[in-house]
A and B are shown apart, each in its own frame.
Chain A
């Protein structure tokens, strides 16, 4: 079965700092890739997704992610974070109809 790994459990940044959250997966076939965000007390929201085509995907709120097939990675980036980006971020991979999520990375942005 495939698995999804998120490298960082908790990331603390100051406002305006750049962000990169790591996501790696193990699956040899074609995958669909996602990043979701969960703000405190709220449900999961889709940030961005990759199905095919340009491996650099732009999502909402200034987030982007790059699919690097050779590294089985789909890292999330944002050039300048805001206090309102404080949330938990989940990477998800769907390779064989089994949509799997990483353990999540908690991001705290200090004003």
Chain B
């Protein structure tokens, strides 16, 4: 069966520090991968999605970036965090035909 792992679960980082959130999917190949941020009253904001290795579509202007170095690995990064980057980040995957989406457990990021 397919599983999705996301880590770390909780992170407290100072302003200006770097960020790396990692996500891996097991039990499937060539998934579509997603990074979302969930904020109260704003639903799930799509940050990045990827349909293949090295293929990243960005939805937001950033100091955030994403990379897909391997088929089932998706990384969310920042060189310098802002206070406004605080939030709950979710990694997710779907099959190639865009069917049901499966979420990781999420990562709580607090920038102080």
0 or 1 for each of A37-49: is its CB under 8 Å from B? (1 = yes): 0000001101001
Chain B CB within 10 Å — which of A98, A102, A103 has the most?
A: A98
Interface contact B103-A99, CB-CB below 8 Å: no
0 or 1 for each of A61-94: is its CB under 8 Å from B? (1 = yes): 0000000000000000000000000000010101
Supposing A97-B49, A97-B51 touch, asked if A103 and B103 sit within 8 A by C-beta, the answer is no
In angstroms, Cα B44 to Cα A43, docked, is 12
> Nearest chain-B residue to A43 (Cβ)?
B103
Residues on B facing A (Cβ under 8 Å):
32, 34, 36, 41-44, 46, 49, 51, 57, 59, 92, 94, 98-101, 103, 105-106
Residues on A facing B (Cβ under 8 Å):
1, 6, 9, 32, 34, 43-44, 46, 49, 51, 90, 92, 94-95, 97-104
| 28 contacts across the A-B interface (CB closer than 8 A) | A1-B59, A6-B43, A9-B41, A32-B98, A34-B100, A43-B106, A90-B43, A94-B94, A94-B99, A94-B101, A95-B98, A97-B49, A97-B51, A97-B94, A97-B98, A98-B46, A98-B57, A99-B32, A99-B34, A99-B49, A99-B92, A99-B94, A101-B36, A101-B44, A103-B41, A103-B42, A104-B42, A104-B43
